[in-house]
Amino acid sequence: MKLPLIILPMTCLALAISSAVQASSHREAPFITENPKVDATDFYAFRSYEPGREGFVTLIANYNPLQDAYGGPNYFSLSPDAIYEIHVDNNGDAKEDLTFQFDFSQRLGNAGKGLALPIDGKNVPVPLTNIGPILANDHANANFREFYTLNLIKGDRRTGEAIRAKQADNNRSFFAKPLDNIGGKTFSTQSYEDYAHTFIQPVRLNGCPANAQIGRVFVGQRKDPFAVNLGEIFDLVNTNPVGATDGEADALADKNVTTLALEVPIACLKGSGEGIIGLWTTASLPQTSSLLEEPKNLKAKSSTGPWVQVSRLGMPLVNEVVIGLPDKNRFNASQPKDDAQFIDYVTKPTLPVLLSALFGVEAPTVTGRPDLVAAFLTGLKGVNANGSVGEMVRLNMNIQPTAQAAQKNLGVAAGDAAGFPNGRRPGDDVVDAELRVAMGLLCHLGLNLCTPEQAVSGQLPYTDGVLQTAEPFKASFPYLNTPLAGSPN
């Protein structure tokens, strides 16, 4: 009886408390399980470490989790009924000052009629996404394509001024998304990565300062960047939590995700917050949706009414393992400025007590857990605190990026100030870091939040057994790796 109970609090607590966590958020609330296309899985924000791009910040929002590469014939489009947004608080009030809004559309081949084959004197539409090889400059064989627009909204996301971004090289107001990695035969004349690379576009962010408008954007399928012992964690942490840091299998090693990646000049993001910004991503759907009795082409429902937020992600796994089940849908609909309603989940955590009773370790004894409040709601003083209270990824843009080869996977705790919890990079192993923070690691760092005596188990080497480092990732935008191919597999 004791072993499962021991393990459950360890992971939940670990995944719950760090401020810039790097963990996937898959199916974390009841409603979102019905809507995977708007399920945010990971959110990253970091100073660009690609050589020559140090003056930029990279924002990456991943959606539509647990994609099997062979998921045909329709694969993994984003929802044309939704809007996907990345929000920036740059003055320390936990409200968005800038919003980057992605809006998607879908198009059938053959001018919207669908590709067809002549059979017995009649052109019959085909059931497949493509009917031949695909090239970056030749989508004639594609039966389905996705496009998107990008708006920069200043002020309130719903009432602020929306300014359309343009392709910087041709001034077009729309961008194309590559097909998912269907397989080696579809992309037989051009490697998938070469094909996808052509969809990295220079973007003119109208509304930013004149000298800080040109960034880059990419939306497309990527290999899931997160590494975690996911199945065993949710089987009451059915693993050794103090074992080898690389002793378990990555449950997401065979999964892809859909990435929204945006590289933004630092000067575009700066406000009055002395270079420290708070960030999070959301997805919203129209309030009213009606199924069409007679669906036509790609449209099966009619949607109207104001936008309603259904997904929210800043510090991942918060909703999965911190917020109580009755509040999970509400958290997904909420905003950082209103996070006082969830404060008891941080200041009165029960999981450390369970660890103490069942795992033979001692829970931190400090009242109100000021270490967790700092990590979860305010940022760390001297690192990324910006005066606001609310759950966000906080990034101090004044701290220089660390070159990929020199990055420490435990970030600030390992002496790498450009890593977690100062933003979040793909190679930050925050699952392991979170396990240690959960049991009071911050009490041992001289932050005056609590004392080592109040967290005697705060330096134990907890781990999920899956190692995350910067080394496997790309060293250039959009940093995430080529998605796994559906064939051969």
Calculate mean pLDDT across residues 463-471. 88
Strands 255-265 and 161-164, sheet pairing: unpaired
Instruction: For residue 167, name the pLDDT band (cuts at 50, 70, 90).
Output: very high
Distance of alpha carbon 39 from alpha carbon 312, whole angstroms = 8
Among the ranges given (40-54, 223-237, 391-405), the one the predictor scored with the smallest mean pLDDT: 223-237
pLDDT tens digits along 75-123: 999 999 999 999 999 999 999 999 999 999 999 999 899 999 999 999 9
Distance in angstroms (rounded) separating the CA atoms of residues 207 and 230: 41
Q: How far apart are CA 285 and CA 307, in angstroms?
A: 5
Check: CB of residue 134 under 8 Å from CB of residue 142: yes
pTM: 0.91
Above 80 in pLDDT, residue 2? no
pLDDT at 254 over 50: yes
Three-state DSSP at 464 gives coil
Q: What is the mean pLDDT of the chain?
A: 89
Residue with tokens 């967290």: 455
What are the pLDDT digits (tens) for 296-342?
888 889 999 999 999 999 987 777 777 788 998 998 999 999 999 99
Domain boundaries, the chain: 30-454
Flag whether pLDDT at 425 surpasses 50. Answer: yes
pLDDT recorded at residue 317: 73
Which residue reads 């005596």 in tokens?
A: 453
Please compute, for residue 435, the number of CA atoms within 13 A of its CA located in the half-sphere on the CB side: 27
To 10 degrees, the CA torsion angle through 90, 96, 98, 99? 140
Q: To 10 degrees, what angle do helices 2-17 and 351-359 make?
A: 140
Q: Of the candidates 88, 470, 426, which has an alpha carbon nearest to the alpha carbon of residue 266?
A: 88
Mean pLDDT value across residues 226-232: 85
Amino acid at 91: N
